[in-house]
Chain A
Amino acid sequence: MRVYWQILRNEFQTLFRAKWVLGYGLIFLLLTDTLFRFSGGGTEVWVSVSNIMLLLIPIISLIYGILYIYQSRDYLELLLTQPVNRSTLFWGLYTGISAPLTVAFIIGSALPIGWHGGLASGSASQLFFVLALGSLLTFIFVGLGFVMGLYFYDDKIKGFGFSIVIWLFMAVIYDGLIMVIIFMFGDYSLETSVIFITMLNPMDIARILILMEFDISALMGYSGAVFNRFFGSNLGILVSGGMLVLWLAVPSWVGLRIFNRKDF
């Protein structure tokens, strides 16, 4: 445990010394601040923050996860020659990178509340929701980046290439395919399968959780029974939340496995 905290602390120090994490937080700070100025601090602020978050966090976290592995090969080797458990080292590095990104995101998004006179009533839960989801996404995609970096340890071009492809796939292509399915086979009862398919993509899951928080009035306009049961009750939240946690667990577990068996 002591070793874990040492690594974590060192990651925090190193990351915050590298100014770009501050820049990353600053993006969210400027975003929320601007939104507060233009729309007065209600729900709209958190809707917009969540939109940007859905776009920005996965790609930044993914790229940073893989970049970190590539940049710190020697550092990794140095640590691995010390009397340190590989698993401890892995968790230290993983959380040591995800956590500062998360902190930058949370502080950046929440700080403007301070000088804009607090939260509008009823948006405290929305704020919490958006921040929690953003944090979860950060951990998930840093984890994916780690997996890519460790898997393509000696081939950076391939690693980056595949990461971009994965992001593109999750962010655009996957949704495009779902749209195609919906419009090609719209005559069949697709609800269950489409919901199932969307639940396999973490970016879609996060997006759907946001829909449930902010756009439920539009979703409820659709009369599908499965759809309504899914989005109209806690079932949707539970399933989506569960799947997202699975997406958190699986990449980090795979990453750990590769890390434990890897030759450095």
Chain B
Amino acid sequence: MIRINNLKKAFGPHQVLKGMDLNIPAGQATGVVGPNGAGKTTLIKTLLGLVKSDSGDIIINNIQLNGNYDYRRQIGYMPQQARYPEQMIVSELLSFIEDLRGDEAVFKEQLIKEFNLEPELHKQLRILSGGNKQKVGATLAMMFNPSILFFDEPTAGLDPRSSFIFKERIQKEKVAGKTMLITSHIMSELEQLVDHVIFILEGEIKYYGRIDDLLKENRQERLEGAIAKMMEEPA
């Protein structure tokens, strides 16, 4: 579970998170949507401790964040742009992170197989295609079987086949009861993957609830339409 109270963060004069409150129960798959620069990535990075909040509380799986780091053992994160040390070989990177955490990468083989990464394992990361790097990122995020997963624009660089495989995998994780946060600009994709949605605009949560309710409220068939409608409303 993830609980956020009055979370604020400014980069210089620019207030990116304006006092956010959020409560995500365990096992819930949630989409995070909003226009560019609304604060989606900042929110996820704050949850990860990459960004330090100015004020407010974050509690993840009953652990209050205060500069501690061990709670991250329970989080898998797949960044927006997957870039890794270029000289490193894929298999090295995977086992390096494995050694670093000291955890057993229970799904490592399985993910490599699913994403068809075997031919890439002995290549240096700099010669990998963008899509393959994304898959490496997804593998890193999921191979330790964490209870919480963050995906930041996960399918952006993937070809349709890989994208399909990836979504299959997400479904599996969802069934396994993972708490998930997924940001995406592709609303149709989110509709497939998550039941709940957070709509962020200018650092504030404009909507948080079930997608079904959102559609009903706005009398829309599709999420895309509902969001677009919300964005048109005066703030």
Contacts and interface: CB of A to CB of B under 8 A. Distances in A.
A–B interface present (Cβ within 8 A): yes
Contacts of B81: 74
B52 A82 contact: no
A81 interface: yes
B52 A263 contact: yes
Interface in A212-232: none
Indicate the size class of the contact surface on chain B.
20 to 34
Interface in B60-101: 67, 69-73, 75, 77, 79, 81-85, 87-88, 92, 96-97, 99-101
Interface of B: 11, 45, 48-52, 67, 69-73, 75, 77, 79, 81-85, 87-88, 92, 96-97, 99-102, 140
Which of A14, A81, A263, A264: most chain B Cβ within 10 A? A81
A85 interface: yes
B72 A78 contact: no
A99 B75 CA distance: 32
A211 B79 CA distance: 52
Contacts of B71: 83
Interface of A is mostly: helix
B65 to A, nearest CB: 13
Contacts of B49: 80
Contacts of B140: 78
Interface stretch (A2-10, A117-125, A127-135): A2-10
Nearest to B89: A17
Interface string A59-80: 0000000000000101101111
A81 B88 contact: no
A14 B126 CA distance: 13
Contacts of A14: 85, 87-88
Contact of A261 (B11, B52, B87): B52
Contact of B50 (A2, A75, A77): A77
Contacts, number: 65
Given A18-B87, A74-B84, A75-B84, A81 B48 contact: yes
Given A18-B87, A262-B52, A263-B11, 11 more contacts: A2-B102, A72-B85, A74-B81, A74-B84, A77-B79, A81-B77, A83-B70, A83-B71, A84-B100, A85-B69, A263-B52
Contacts of A75: 83-85
B70 A263 contact: no
A37 interface: no
Contact of B69 (A10, A18, A86): A86
A78 B71 CA distance: 16
A10 B95 CA distance: 11
A10 to B, nearest CB: 5
B45 A264 contact: yes
Contacts of A86: 67, 69
B87 A81 contact: no
A261 B50 CA distance: 10
30 contacts: A2-B102, A6-B96, A6-B100, A13-B92, A14-B85, A14-B87, A17-B87, A72-B85, A74-B79, A74-B81, A74-B84, A75-B83, A75-B84, A77-B50, A78-B84, A78-B140, A80-B49, A81-B48, A81-B77, A81-B79, A83-B71, A83-B72, A84-B72, A84-B100, A260-B67, A261-B52, A262-B52, A263-B11, A263-B45, A263-B52
Given A75-B84, A261-B52, A263-B11, A82 B97 contact: yes
B48 A263 contact: no
Given A81-B72, A263-B45, A264-B51, A6 B99 contact: yes
Contacts of B51: 263-264
Contacts of B96: 6, 10
Interface string A1-39: 011001100100110011000000000000000000000
Contacts of A13: 92
B68 to A, nearest CB: 9
Q: Which 3 A-B pairs rank lowest in CB-CB distance, beginning with the nearest? A: A74-B83, A83-B73, A263-B51
A77 B84 CA distance: 9
